[in-house]
Chain A
């Protein structure tokens, strides 16, 4: 069955110039492998394609049980000159969490 990422993980957005940085951290560390397997760079690029114009690099952090997505050319020129409402892109953590993930059958939620 499909679930929104928001039900199993949390995220914070950060910005450096025109680069958007999104963490993805499971509430339950046992879900880390599921995130590594399913939340690929390609899927994030498709999901956030309207926002991220450049490359996306995924960092896998097995010690911390977290993923980090570094998204280039993602903030319509960056916080200092952007016309966007949320020029930092701070709310975009919750855009990532709108992604849907397929749960293995029988897995308790």
Chain B
């Protein structure tokens, strides 16, 4: 029986850096590498790309990531588990096979399917967020269920090197190989809780190695420019030791682990995943050596009967414009500029917002009342269903160049389509997953 396994996390979001994953794979002596690349909205945006091109809709960095990783995975006999399949795992797998053939490598990809439940929603369902019918939000574009370990395990039971999924719960990407290797019973919710804790600690990659933790005044972290990503060595009892590759930057401490442990956790006593309702309250974190943190404790209760489904809908367009002012009366001139644009166009938008970057754009005015910045950037945003109207925001901000007030510079304009996301719960019996194998 396996006594210990090593899992690394090489990416914590869709836009994450590529190099740390390559270093982990090369030097981590890993059994598994996980790349977590799918935020709540990422999959809805990917569905839109798939609508326009049936061969698209997987992670936009998949090709670049796999070109570097494929030879390393084979050389080090490391299996990859990743949700880079996004809205189109089959097309993503076909792309991986194409890269492998180009590199002259033999590889097998197990594709986990079944998260796309768009054909099972009527639009009458009530959202968890607003208790309103889905149809009332706008034209629906996607519905993806958060699958759990039960969907990933059959893929692990094949001899595929790469397990490619669409929407699965982030910690499940880590818990599945633990169950597979240690022969854990998925109904042992204490172990499911412990494994989920370790998955949650790793899933945001650089967030536990000191990256998103760093503050040069109170929380200095060394060598941020070569920040390493984390790995965990887990034993069959569900405790783990988190570390990073020697020579990489960053730091793993009790403090960095605590910040990540509580990240995005609504109720630390009841952390819902498809696999378990985990309890984080009794977790103990202990520093064994520099950059070596032992995690013990944590438990769980029976998994929920329902799975969360993220539903994407078309929410119109956001137009934005920005322009800067500096020196004497910078704030007064920026405010005058904001008032001018507001009077000209605000009434035509569903939502409209004027921000003063450098003063109040992040936390409002209540924390920055006495602040007199030397320079200030005016930012105006408007939301509308009408794409051409959305352009007007940036155009009117740009027009402040000649129409005044004085000294505005560096105007920029942007427009983007908005895909909103709301959630429903779906009976897990309605959701069936399958595995399909592709090989080079």
Contacts and interface: CB of A to CB of B under 8 A. Distances in A.
Interface residues of A, number: 39
B268 A10 contact: no
Given A6-B218, A64-B258, A83-B318, A50 B364 contact: yes
Interface in B33-88: 40-41, 44
Given A23-B258, A84-B353, A51 B363 contact: yes
Residue in A19, A68, A80 whose Cβ sees the most chain B Cβ within 10 Å: A80
A91 B355 CA distance: 15
B215 A10 contact: yes
Interface of B: 40-41, 44, 128-129, 207, 212-213, 215, 218-219, 255, 258-269, 280-285, 297, 315, 318, 351-353, 355, 357, 361-367, 379, 381-383, 418-423
Given A16-B266, A66-B262, A91-B362, 20 more contacts: A6-B218, A10-B218, A10-B255, A12-B259, A17-B422, A19-B266, A21-B263, A23-B259, A23-B262, A27-B218, A61-B268, A61-B281, A63-B284, A64-B285, A70-B266, A70-B267, A80-B419, A81-B420, A83-B381, A84-B353
Contacts of B219: 10
Given A12-B212, A14-B263, A63-B282, A83 B218 contact: no
A79 B267 contact: no
Contacts, number: 119
Contact of A81 (B262, B281, B315, B423): B315
A55 interface: no
A30 B217 CA distance: 21
A59 to B, nearest CB: 5
28 contacts: A10-B213, A10-B215, A10-B255, A11-B259, A12-B207, A12-B212, A12-B260, A12-B263, A14-B265, A15-B264, A16-B266, A18-B129, A23-B258, A25-B262, A59-B267, A61-B268, A61-B281, A63-B284, A63-B297, A66-B262, A80-B418, A81-B383, A81-B420, A83-B351, A83-B352, A86-B361, A95-B362, A95-B367
In order of increasing CB-CB distance, the 8 nearest A-B pairs are A14-B264, A23-B262, A85-B361, A50-B364, A83-B353, A81-B420, A95-B363, A12-B259
B357 A85 contact: yes
Given A10-B219, A79-B40, A92-B363, A17 B262 contact: no
Contacts of B362: 85-86, 91-92, 95
Contacts of A21: 262-266
Nearest to B285: A64
Contacts of A7: 218
Contact of A91 (B44, B215, B268, B363): B363
A94 B219 CA distance: 13
Nearest to B259: A12
